[in-house]
Each structure stands twice: as structure tokens, then as C-alpha cells.
Amino acid sequence: MIEKYKHIIWDWNGTIINDVDLCVELINWLLKEKKLKTITKEEYKNVFTIPVKNYYAALGFDFEEEPFEVIGKRWMDEYERRKFECTVYDGVIDVMGKINQLGIGQSILSAYSQHTLEEMVEHFGLTKYFSHIVGLDNIYAAGKLHLGKNLMKRLGNGKGETLFLGDTEHDYEVATEIGADCILSSSGHQIKEKLEKLNCLVIDDLRNIFQ
């Protein structure tokens, strides 16, 4: 299945890096501060979406009381302080190595901020796998479609020559818009039931892309 592609584009959060538990912990920290109902991991995966501002609103945060830019920065500051508590998903590095051996190019496309994305990729020793590492110029994770379009221009690939690996509806939307095929992992930030409503393959473990 993989051999037909010239390039694999990876999402970062929830696809390569397992940060779901930390994200749940931090949103519950803010919910408690506002005396709002805390959520379970399953509830988080059911409500999470991009732009992340929408999921904050769904959880009851009042942006008239405190603007999203303020509360979102508080969340991100704490995430940045603790980001290295996260780990790469089991088997993902092996997958990258096998893709390399097949002579297929790889890139990262993320709604994470560019500087910190590069820092984390380097921290986990993954920089060598990627020809392009592309993130946002801010911390608010509003979306990455424009970045995806620019990346595809740089790659110069035709339709059907690129595969996008992600974990959210937004990843599927981006893949569709940029003309890439898509496989989504249900181990990330959104529940499997949501992902299975999309017109793409959903798997529990990215090691299964070779099957």
C-alpha cells in the first residue's frame, strides 16, 4: 500500500507524539479554575476539534469573561513547560525507518508553532527523517490548510502521490484539499466513531500501514 507514494506527510500532535493525556490534564486544570465540569479522556476525544477555540467554547469557557487568546496562552505556556513528559507513540520510529528504506520522502505538517515543533522533533531524534518540518507562526492552532497547500507546491507531487497520516477530522480536510490520500489513527485526539464517518482508512496503530 505504501510503496505507491512518493511522499508521506505526518501530523505531529496525536500522530507522532502521544500528548493526549497531558492535553486532558491541562484542560481539566483550566476547567477547575473556572468551576466548570471536568472531562474524561473519552469525553475530550469526543469534543476536541480544530480550531481549538471551538472546543474551548463547547466546554463552557466564556470568552467575554476571559478572551480565548489569554486562556489559550495559559494552556500553551503550561504545555510548553511539560511537553517533554510526552513520548513518541510505540512503533512510529520504526515506521519512519521503513518508509526511509523504501526511498519515500517524509515531512511534518502541524498546527503546532514552528519553533517549538522543530525543538521537539530534534529532542526525540527525528529530524533526520524529514525533508520539511512545517508549523504555524503562532500558538493558537487555528488550522494548517494554507501550510499544506504551500508544502504540496514545494513537493511538486501529483494527485495520488502523497499520503497524509493524521488523527483528526482537520487532518482529513487538509489532505482532501491538498490532493493527498489520508490514513487516520484512532489513538490520537479524536474518537474512532468520528473518524470512521470520513472517507478514509482509520487504524488503531500506524504500524498497520504496511499491511
pLDDT tens digit sequence for 49-78: 988 899 999 999 999 999 999 999 999 999
Strands (E), the chain: 7-10, 17-18, 87-88, 105-113, 132-136, 162-166, 181-185, 201-203
User: What does pTM read for this prediction?
Assistant: 0.92
182 in the same domain as 92: yes
Percent of the chain with pLDDT over 90: 79
Which residue's C-alpha cell is 524529514?
130
Number of domains present in the structure of the chain: 2
9 in the same domain as 53: no
Q: Which amino acid is at 81?
A: R
Instruction: With beta carbons less than 8 A apart as the criterion, state whether 94 and 207 touch.
Output: yes
Query: Residue 117: what pLDDT?
Result: 93
183 in the same domain as 123: yes
Cα dihedral across residues 117, 123, 124, 125: positive or negative: positive
Range of the domain at 123: 2-18+88-210
Averaged pLDDT, 71-94: 95
Closest to 132 measured CA to CA, from 32, 8, 38, 45: 8
108 in the same domain as 51: no
